[in-house]
Structure 1
Amino acid sequence: MGEWVEGIWEWKLEWVRELRERDLFHVNELLSLIDNVSLTPGKIDGWKWKASPNSSFSVNSAYKVMCRDSRSKTQSNKGLEFQYIWKAAAPHKAKFSAWRILKDRMATCENLIRRQVSIPNAESICVFCRSQQEDTNHLFFICQRTSEAWYDILSWLGLQAVLPSSAKDHFLAFTSLGNKRDTKLLRNVWICMVWCI
């Protein structure tokens, strides 16, 4: 990582693989960012969470930051899906998965390729239908297998609908199918369903 040379910290970054030409821009950008960091010999490095007065991380403070960001970016109903997710009575890991789906942050093949992770073409297709490129919307809502599961759930709940293919629209449409009393139940069903997929 680096070492002290005559009282000055010198970065010595080692890479797991040999850098490609396109990586050099990012390396230079990283170096320009960390060159401005001043380190003090003998002082222990640590993390600070700026969203909390005592600089320590808590889930509560992270939730408040997300809600504040969600409120500041949105007027009316835009962004409320995130508040609905976090207030749902579902397991935390299911809510986290649902949040990642709505933000398009799942490790689907399309997202991995966008992040420049090398995936062979044969492995970039949907794990369920083996016929389409795997992206968040396809994997969780459009694929024949998963869309059949959604319509089975609707049938089980005694509901009928044509559901949208984008994650946010799907969530909002699915959770607004019943009456107001059923909305919380439908949110929990949606969250648990995407978690199971």
Structure 2
Amino acid sequence: MTEPDSLWCKVVKARCETRGGSSWWNDITSACVLEGWNWFENGAQKLVREGNDTAFWTESWLGNESLQSRFPRLYNLSKQKRYSVKNMGMWSNGVWHWDFKWRRSLRGREEAWLEELMGMLMFENANEEGDSDSDPAFASIWTVCAPSNVRAFVWRLLLDRLPTRDNLRRRHLLGEDDDARCPLCQQADETSEHLFSLCPVTTRLWSACYAWRGMQSVLSASVREHFLQFPMIGRSKKQQAGEWALWMSLVWTVWMLRNKVVFQGANVELENTSKLIQVKSWQWVKAKVDGFSYSWFEWRSNPSACMDLL
């Protein structure tokens, strides 16, 4: 069902479909295909284990489609089209390193696709290692009034699984001579801690966010600690979820800004970025919290007062 063009499948079909066909075979094929839709093929996912028998590009082992289908340009540029998952990298000091080989250097949008692919691979690796749902930071992520893709992004951020330049270099996807500096400030290597906590551009956005909330705070260098400290003391769980939506809107907007700078050569505009953070957080809370009826004007004027009444 999953390898219709393979030799073994052709042999089985030839033996079972001759002279009216085997009733056993007919039962299998009819059960797998209902009203023209192959639920087995579309719903099954291969168990990779060590990756010896799983083709990296052409089999659906990472999600519901093959990486060849999801990233056709990268597949065409790859020199490893027939490699198994296991042969696409190596272990070094207990850490798995992906080792991609291309027919030429990647450029422009191709680099963005590679970063998306690396994000998927990091997410899968974190799933295999097990997350930290017992940790209050990770347990809180799923309660936040934010879109599911943003919460998954923050989950990866707290695990340090985002494809920052520092992470890409440590996984040998950037060379030692490649630029690993923060795209927003060009003053330090782009680690998660730097990009979301220490970068001068980001710290100005955090300062504007705290001023908008009518607060002052010392920014923690630890992304996890800052996430936990962000809600005001004494907030209910519902109010905390609303405030964490604001936190997530800022880090998500910073990541989107970073990608625009890297891949589109965009300029950093702090005022517009701050307004976008406010708009996103209002949209998310309004969409996710029952009974939230505050207008954009009320939210922009006093978000803390809106939170008080959640």
Alpha-carbon distance change, 136 to 150 in structure 1, aligned in 2, over 3 angstroms: same
Q: Please report how far the alpha carbon of residue 26 of structure 1 lies from its aligned counterpart in structure 2 after TM superposition.
A: 2.8
Alpha-carbon distance change, 24 to 188 in structure 1, aligned in 2, over 3 angstroms: closer
Q: Which residue of 2 aligns with 1:179?
A: 234
Across the aligned residues of Structure 1 and Structure 2, the Cα RMSD in angstroms comes to 3.5
Give per-residue Cα distances to partners, 1:151-195, cap 9 Å, x unaligned.
1101100111102111111111213x3431442222111111111
Q: Is the 8 A contact 2:143 2:241 kept in 1?
A: no
Q: Which residue of 1 aligns with 2:191?
A: 135
Q: Which residue of 2 aligns with 1:62?
A: none
2:182 to 102, 126, 130: 126
Normalised to the residue count of structure 1, the TM-score between the two structures is 0.61
1:161 to 206, 210, 217: 217
Alpha-carbon distance change, 131 to 161 in structure 1, aligned in 2, over 3 angstroms: same
**2:205, 2:250 → 1: CA distance?**
9
Alpha-carbon distance change, 139 to 24 in structure 1, aligned in 2, over 3 angstroms: closer
Q: Equivalences for 1:29-178 in 2 at 5 Å?
A: 70-71=132-133, 74=134, 79-119=135-175, 121=177, 123-175=179-231, 177-178=232-233
Normalised to the residue count of structure 2, the TM-score between the two structures is 0.40
Alpha-carbon distance change, 170 to 121 in structure 1, aligned in 2, over 3 angstroms: farther
**1:69, 1:141 → 2: CA distance?**
23
Q: How many correspondences in the alignment?
A: 144
Q: Which residue of 1 aligns with 2:248?
A: 191
Q: Is the 8 A contact 2:165 2:174 kept in 1?
A: no
Identity of aligned residues (%): 28
Q: Which residue of 1 aligns with 2:79?
A: 16
Structure with higher RCO (Cα < 8 A, 6+ apart): 1
